[in-house]
Structure 1
Amino acid sequence: MKTYGSKNIETLKQLIEEKNFIPNISVDCTIFGFHDNILKVLLLKYHDLDMWSLPGGFVFLDEDLREAADRVLYERTHLKGLFLEQFHTFGRLDRTQNNVHQTLINNKGLDIQKDHWILQRFITVGYCSLIDFSLANTFPDAFNETCAWFEVSKLPKMAFDHDRIIAEGLNHLRKNIDTQVAASNLLPEKFTMKDLQALYETILGEKFRRNNFQRKILSMNSLERLEKLYDGSANKAPFLYKFIKE
């Protein structure tokens, strides 16, 4: 797999002189993280800039978009093997007006032509995933000083239109929560209905009546009911469940 990450590039100049990218197309990865009933998103902070961005990058001439998303995510964060789902294409005319690339180039003292490809308009394809952020070991690449998780309701100053990408990604996650939860391995192999309800409530940002939630989930026929969970307490022992693998 081709890379242009921290192991294979020393300066920004090497990147902007690359001739093998598709012009005007990029990919951005919105990685949502869940743990202890908190929903967060993974962001990167640029060197010398007081703003944050999603893990994103350019597409090589000889690779698929999905392959590019996998590669870029690994190069920027060292996360790999995630269930990445394409959710939206972002092409507003003004989406890159706060041009981070220009600022980075200026800060490095580089001189490039005004019509250089890296300064032109970019349409980006968004991918998203849902993981347990407590289990994710992330590492910033050569162009970023920090990887950090932020609560989706408490975002810092964002580069480009990445706040909109996050909002659209969250909307997609909520609309497709059943698929995302089943594919994310956020729960142990065996879990209670209470555990599953807490996960849904955190992602959707709303509360459910226990009976209504259980009825809805069981009607989907995606769970297998197992033995009861006896923990020695005086409370009624709940059933354990697991997802039915297709």
Structure 2
Amino acid sequence: MQTIQYKFYIFVAYFFNMSFYNIEKILPGHSIDCVVFGFDYNEQELNVLLMKWKMGGKWALPGGVVYKDEILEDAAHRSLKERTGISVSVLEQFHTFSGINRRSEEEIQLMLSIAAKYDIKIEKWFRTRYLTTGFVTVVNMENTTPVEDIYSSECRWVPIKDKPELVMDHDDIFNKAMDHVRIQLSYLPISMALLPEKFTMKALKKVYEGFLGKPLERSNFQSKMLKLDILNRHEKLMTGAANKAPYLYSFDKEKYESLLKKGIGLFV
């Protein structure tokens, strides 16, 4: 059985790259964290991608260090792939978190007491003030297969309503990402990225409700979406009750892109 000391050493080795990276290649004092949103179509609820550390069972956003020879965007894509096995086409930078006490003194002291036994140079890294830049993206969950890395016991989608408390300032990063997406709901094709090609009006409404954090009146929401004239309506779902089966919709991509170019919001 692994000891607590060993588990914390694994943590140290990852975050400060003493065993697996050349420390001279790392950009001092800066890291990245990724907030990845997905929509569970079966359960009709918004999810976020999280990792569970092997030590202490703490949950965190996927992230990592930045190399001196790479830009932040490349660091974000690389770290997300290394930590979760997931590659995405777009990661948007939304905020840099520069809190002086991003890590608690208790956390630092606990890890220092272990790390110092292995390499005194690690102490310098623990005492370095680290800023982190947040990146956000939305993906179709069905096209992803999260895989935990050697430092995590789990890597999986977690419903927003069940999100546990996160380490350090990761709750602040998550909340800021939610605010960022809420603002973008009016002018970016977020729903298109989250939903399958064909979907119900109910599922589309659930996406908006998930980000807005409040229920939306069904007929009013449907009326607004249909007035935008960006949805194609298809045959009803076969549920055995033809009169009650919901219609399926898909986005008309040409009209969607035309609407975006005009600067007209999707949801106002």
Asked if residue 30 in structure 1 is aligned to residue 35 in structure 2, the reply is yes
Taking the aligned partners of 2:189 and 2:103, their CA distance within structure 1 comes to 29
Q: Pairwise mapping of residues 1-246 of structure 1 onto structure 2 (< 5 A)? A: 13-15=18-20, 18-35=23-40, 36-97=43-104, 103-104=110-111, 106-107=113-114, 109-113=117-121, 116-133=124-141, 135-177=143-185, 179=188, 181-184=190-193, 186-221=194-229, 223-229=230-236, 231=238, 233-235=241-243, 239-245=247-253, 246=257
Alpha-carbon contact 2:26-2:65 (below 8 Å) kept: yes
Q: Is the 8 A contact 2:58 2:166 kept in 1?
A: yes
* Conservation of the 8 A alpha-carbon contact between 2:34 and 2:134: yes
CA distance in 2 between partners of 1:127 and 1:41 (Å):
13
Amino acid aligned to 1:38: E
Asked whether the 8 Å contact 1:30–1:42 carries over to 2, the reply is: yes
For this pair of structures, how many residues does the alignment match?
A: 235
Indicate how the Cα distance of structure 1 residues 105 and 13 shifts in structure 2: closer, same or farther if over 3 A, else same.
farther
Q: Residues 48-94 of structure 1: CA distance to partner in whole angstroms, max 9, x if unpaired?
A: 23322111111111111111100000000000024322221111111
Structure 1 residues 76 and 12: alpha-carbon distance in aligned structure 2, compared to 1, 3 A threshold: same
CA–CA distance in structure 2, aligned partners of residues 88 and 107 of structure 1: 32
Indicate the SS of the match to 1:89: strand
Question: Per the alignment, in what secondary structure is the counterpart of residue 70 of structure 1?
Answer: helix
Cα distance in 2 for residues equivalent to 1:183 and 1:99: 43
Partner of 2:5: none
Distance in structure 1 (CA, Å) of the matches to 2:218 and 2:245 = 15
Residues 102 and 168 in structure 2, CA contact (< 8 A), matched pair in contact too: yes
Distance 2:219 2:75 in 1: 43
> What root-mean-square deviation, in Å, do the aligned CA atoms of Structure 1 and Structure 2 show?
2.9
Separation in 2, partners of 1:19, 1:102: 24
Q: Is the 8 A contact 1:105 1:111 kept in 2?
A: no
Equivalent position amino acid for 2:190 in 1:
V
SS of equivalent residue, structure 1 residue 14: coil
Q: Deviations over 1:222-242 (max 9, x none)?
A: x23244426363426655432
Deviation at 1:107, TM superposition (A): 4.4
5+ residue gaps, structure 2: 1-13, 258-268
Whether the 8 Å CA contact 1:12–1:105 is kept in 2: the answer is no
The Cα shift of 1:217 comes to 2.2
1:39 is displaced (CA, Å) by 2.2
Residues 43 and 52 of structure 1 are in contact (CA less than 8 Å); yes or no, is this contact kept in structure 2? yes
Distance in 1 between residues matched to 2:58 and 2:105, nearest whole Å = 11
State the 1:31 CA deviation.
1.4
Return 203-212 or 229-238, whichever deviates more. 229-238
TM-score, normalization by structure 1: 0.80
What is the letter of the counterpart of residue 147 of structure 1?
Answer: C
Question: Residues of 2 paired with 1:12 and 1:101: CA distance?
Answer: 16
Q: Which runs of 5+ in 1 are unaligned?
A: 1-8
TM-score by length of 2: 0.74
Q: Secondary structure at the match of 2:18?
A: helix
